[in-house]
Amino acid sequence: MKLISDRTSLIHTENAFKVGPYIRALEDAGHKVIKCNLGEPDFPLPAHVREEVKSQLDKDNVHYTDPQGILPLRKAIAKYMGEARGISLSAEQVVVFPGGKPPIGLCQQTYCNPGDEIIYPSPGFPIYESFINYVGAVAVPLHLREDLGFSFTGADLEKLITPRTKLIYLNFPSNPTGGVATAEQLEEIAEVILRKCDPNVRIYSDEIYENILFDGTKNFSIASVAGMQEKTILASGASKSYSWTGGRIGWAVFPTVDEAKLFTNLNINYFSCIPPYNQEGARVAIESPKSKASIAEMNSAFEMRRDFVVGALNNMPGVQCQLPKGAFYVFPNISGVIENMKIDQAYAALPEAVRKTTSPSTLFQMFLLWKYHVATMDRKSFGQIGAQNMHYLRLSIATGIDDLKIGMERMADAINDAAGFAKFIEENEHFA
């Protein structure tokens, strides 16, 4: 008898956290590491939100509460999400979760039987793919096209839809690419879904970066397209808009009240409830006019950093980087670096067992971290299926401009250090 279930071995991790111990080891050794790995805003929690949380704690608001989420917060979410998308939503459709991750996995468990197919963006948030094997579903990656600003067409999606399709994930603005879909693109995608999919297919629209936008870009939601609200789960949360990743307040708005009741029952079984003091803080974050100013301040800083980093990357030999319209990431194509530094050849020469755990972009990621002390993420961290020969890095710009300047200088040096890379491969075991 085995101790651990088979399905547990099928679930992956989120590599942004996996890199953490490597960073700590380097810092313990006295190195300054430029941290471009985590998707976490480097701004403080807005003061008006922090004061509300403190006030709730002072009131001893620390006990069990409504497992669906407190009603004032659900009303605020329904009003805000509905008005922003031009649709009508009720508080009874809203379920509050401890962060944005739980509804991703719970939706797969709730809507999908073994053998059902789940379509998801690749590159995309790693948890989409990670859970699929765990629930016994079939992973169907929708590979985003660099030539379309890391988006896809209705025709691209249509090729993947089958009678077994049960759940489709969308994520705009996108992690890891920063891609943003236009209203026209979403209308085209919606037309395919409405024409090809069974009425019981659900669309999971992950809009956690909805407020992180640049160049006057607007966020459009597929739920705003006629006929789609009845099929769409709208998911967002407090972590990115309000720089509150540790608050663990996420939410999903379900197409029907009955579906919301099912997920409330899952909350009861998994979490009991979400801390009420943080829920009150999230309510204030959503309702207060002060939040617009804090979001605008972040966006201004992110846009300036984006412009600098993309410019610096595009001046490096072998690097091509698009200008993202949202989120706080850049996603450079490093195919030229892989070729120029002969990283592809070094990868091919590794033992087969090692090759299965790494990739050419991972090798450069590790070289950049261990020898030049810049933490990034590799392409395979954002969807492994069908990602061979796709050479990209993700850099978070949620760190100060001074550190980003140092990071770009170090990365430029690393790209010109083919000899150092060859020595790293010869002497080092940090391949994954």
Domains and CATH numbers, the chain: 7-43+292-424 (3.90.1150.10), 47-290 (3.40.640.10)
Average pLDDT over residues 90-110: 97
Read off the pLDDT band of 14 (50, 70, 90): confident
Please tell me the predicted confidence (pLDDT) of residue 64. Answer: 98
Read off the pLDDT band of 16 (50, 70, 90): confident
Instruction: Render pLDDT for 23-38 as a digit per residue (tens, 0 to 9).
Output: 999 999 999 999 999 8
Please tell me the predicted confidence (pLDDT) of residue 432. Answer: 76
Please tell me the predicted confidence (pLDDT) of residue 18. Answer: 81
Does the structure show a pLDDT above 80 at 428?
A: yes
Average pLDDT over residues 166-189: 97
Query: pLDDT above 70 covers what percent of the chain?
Result: 100
At 323, phi and psi to the nearest 5? Answer: -90, 105
CB 142 within 8 A of CB 152: yes
In 3D space, the residue among 251, 180, 168 whose CA is nearest the CA of residue 209 turns out to be 180
Instruction: Render pLDDT for 197-220 as a digit per residue (tens, 0 to 9).
Output: 999 999 999 999 999 999 999 999
Mean pLDDT in the chain?
A: 96
In 3D space, the residue among 398, 394, 419 whose CA is nearest the CA of residue 174 turns out to be 394
Average pLDDT over residues 387-413: 96
Read off the pLDDT band of 408 (50, 70, 90): very high
Read off the pLDDT band of 258 (50, 70, 90): very high
The one-letter amino acid code at 378 reads D
Any idea which of 66-80, 255-269, 272-286, 379-393 has the lowest mean pLDDT?
A: 379-393
β-pairing, 202-206 with 232-237? parallel
CB atoms within 10 A of CB 288: 15
Please tell me the predicted confidence (pLDDT) of residue 6. Answer: 87
Please tell me the predicted confidence (pLDDT) of residue 346. Answer: 96
Read off the pLDDT band of 115 (50, 70, 90): very high
Read off the pLDDT band of 104 (50, 70, 90): very high
Please tell me the predicted confidence (pLDDT) of residue 331. Answer: 98
Read off the pLDDT band of 430 (50, 70, 90): confident
Residues 6+ apart with CB under 8 A from 6: none
Average pLDDT over residues 61-76: 98
Please tell me the predicted confidence (pLDDT) of residue 68. Answer: 98
How many alpha carbons lie under 13 Å from residue 343 in its C-beta half-sphere? 31
Orientation angle between helical segments 360-372 and 20-28, nearest 10 degrees: 20
Instruction: Render pLDDT for 228-242 as a digit per residue (tens, 0 to 9).
Output: 999 999 999 999 999
Does the structure show a pLDDT above 80 at 431?
A: no
Average pLDDT over residues 151-179: 97
Residues 6+ apart with CB under 8 A from 26: 33, 369, 370, 373
In 3D space, the residue among 166, 168, 163, 159 whose CA is nearest the CA of residue 136 turns out to be 166
Q: What are the b/e assignments for 1-18, b being 16+ CB within 10 Å?
A: eeeeeeeeeeebebbbee
Q: Round to whole Å and give the CA distance between 283 and 428.
A: 50
Please tell me the predicted confidence (pLDDT) of residue 92. Answer: 98
Average pLDDT over residues 398-408: 97
Read off the pLDDT band of 142 (50, 70, 90): very high
